[in-house]
């Protein structure tokens, strides 16, 4: 566990459509750190797109653990992504945390509130977005377990 408060946390749900989620600590104008994070998500289909995110200022990468008995071409694609992420984290001295799919489940509802709805303009589908939500749930779990996020209360619709 890190002794300092991370400022940029990246979550990954690796696969053919890799979900990316980023939480960035917000600095207000007085320079006083707050526990407010801004959130961003994206879907990448090429390993190089994913790898472009693995560099400073990212402090921590939380990646969903991948297991396979028999491996398909889609599994090989996922393994390439994971290997590249591991190498880039080591190269840039970024902390890598592996979570299981089960660890994110309790955080999915809150994570959905941090993802923008897909539009025809962005080209994302609900299927693509599912991976972004999974990646965001890993980020939310990381923040909540470390008490950097203090509530998981989902705002109700007016």
Domain CATH code at residue 102: 3.30.420.10
Inside any domain, residue 116: yes
Residue 127 lies in domain:
8-145
Instruction: Please enumerate in sequence order all residues whose Cβ is within 8 A of that of 127, keeping only pairs 6 or more positions apart, or say none.
Output: 17
Q: Which pTM does this prediction carry?
A: 0.85
20 and 135 Cβ atoms separated by less than 8 Å: yes
Q: How many domains does the chain have?
A: 1
Compute the distance between CA of residue 99 and CA of residue 102 in angstroms, rounded to an integer. Answer: 8
Decide if 155 is inside a domain: no
50-109 pLDDT tens trace: 999 999 999 999 999 988 777 888 888 999 999 999 999 999 999 999 999 999 999 999
Question: 150 lies in a domain?
Answer: no
In a domain, 2, yes or no: no
State yes or no: pLDDT of 22 exceeds 90.
yes
């Amino acid at each position: 566990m890190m002794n300092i408060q991370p400022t940029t946390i990246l979550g990954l749900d690796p696969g053919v459509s890799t979900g990316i989620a980023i939480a960035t600590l917000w600095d207000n104008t007085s320079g006083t750190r707050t526990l407010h994070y801004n959130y961003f998500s994206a879907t990448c289909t090429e390993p190089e797109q994913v790898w472009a995110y693995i560099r400073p200022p990212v402090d921590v990468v939380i990646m969903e653990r991948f297991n396979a008995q028999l491996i398909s071409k889609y599994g090989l694609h996922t393994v390439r992504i994971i290997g590249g992420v591991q190498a880039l984290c080591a190269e840039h001295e970024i902390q890598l945390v592996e979570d299981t799919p089960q660890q994110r489940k309790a955080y999915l509802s809150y994570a959905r509130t941090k993802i923008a709805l897909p539009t025809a303009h962005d080209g994302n589908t609900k299927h693509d977005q599912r991976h972004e939500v999974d990646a965001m749930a890993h980020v939310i779990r990381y923040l909540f377990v470390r008490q950097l996020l203090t509530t998981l209360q989902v705002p109700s619709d007016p």
